[in-house]
Amino acid sequence: MTKAAPIAGTEVWPGKAYPLGASYDGFGTNFAVFSEVAERVELCLFDTEGAETRIAMPEVDGFVWHCYLPNIEPGQCYGYRVHGPHDPAQGQRCNPNKLLLDPYAKAIDGHFDWDQSLFGYNFGEPDSRNDDDSAAQMPKSVVINPYFDWGVDRPPQREYADSVIYEAHVKG
């Protein structure tokens, strides 16, 4: 997958809360992610060498953090870092040292390099907090181009009455 390099001094616009995920519109990309407990969310852009650029997401509406970055194109690798409460007893493990995949990403690139840094806790101490940065071991979410040129391909021009519709089980 071709990766785009982040632009130095990228402008940050408010963007929109929906749709969730990264949405490319031909001019830039809107980023939106839900977090009910976050106190701050950073969007992390990665270049082809893995260098990270962090951008604070300035807007939050209804627990959806969002921003729009003009000139961010398909192929751009990204992730999120969430700042907030760390209270394992309450199920809250916000840790900005852990890069998070976009749960709404339509593509990811890379693989997990299993390492202690991927875990939010230290082995053998489930209530502890592991502050090792996980970005180098994590795959990254990727901005995609949702537009597709169908060329000369067109839907079949068949009357509904002449159609046969059936259901098949994919699993087999």
Asked whether residue 148 is domain-assigned, the answer is yes
Average pLDDT score over the chain: 91
d(CA 156, CA 125): 60
Asked whether residue 7 is domain-assigned, the answer is no
Asked whether residue 16 is domain-assigned, the answer is no
pLDDT tens per residue, range 69-87 = 999 999 999 999 999 999 9
List the single range of 3-7, 49-53, 162-166 with lowest mean pLDDT. Answer: 3-7
Asked whether residue 168 is domain-assigned, the answer is no
Asked whether residue 67 is domain-assigned, the answer is yes
Q: Name the β-bridge partners of 45.
A: 53, 78
d(CA 76, CA 72): 7
d(CA 134, CA 116): 9
pLDDT, mean of residues 14-27? 97
Residue 109: give its domain's CATH number: 2.60.40.10
The pLDDT score that the predictor gives to residue 56 is 96
Give the predicted TM-score (pTM) of the model: 0.83
Map tokens 């893995």 to a residue. Answer: 50
Q: Could you tell me which residue, 142 or 88, shows the higher pLDDT?
A: 142
The full 3-state SS of the chain, as one line of letters, equals CCCCCCCCCCCCECCCCCCCEEEECCCEEEEEEECCCCCEEEEEEECCCCCEEEEECCEEECCEEEEEEECCCCCCEEEEEEECCEEHHHCEECCCCCCECCCCCCCEECCCCCCHHHCCCECCECCCCCCCCCHHHCCEEECCCCCCCCCCCCCCCCCHHHCCCCCCCCCC
Asked whether residue 138 is domain-assigned, the answer is yes
For residue 97, is pLDDT > 60?
yes
Q: Nearest to residue 133, comparing CAs of 119, 117, 156, 147?
A: 117
For residue 2, is pLDDT > 90?
no
Q: Which domain holds residue 155?
A: 21-162
Total number of domains in the chain: 1
Asked whether residue 38 is domain-assigned, the answer is yes
The pLDDT score that the predictor gives to residue 158 is 87
Q: Could you tell me which residue, 97 or 3, shows the higher pLDDT?
A: 97
The two structure tokens encoding residue 31: 């980023």
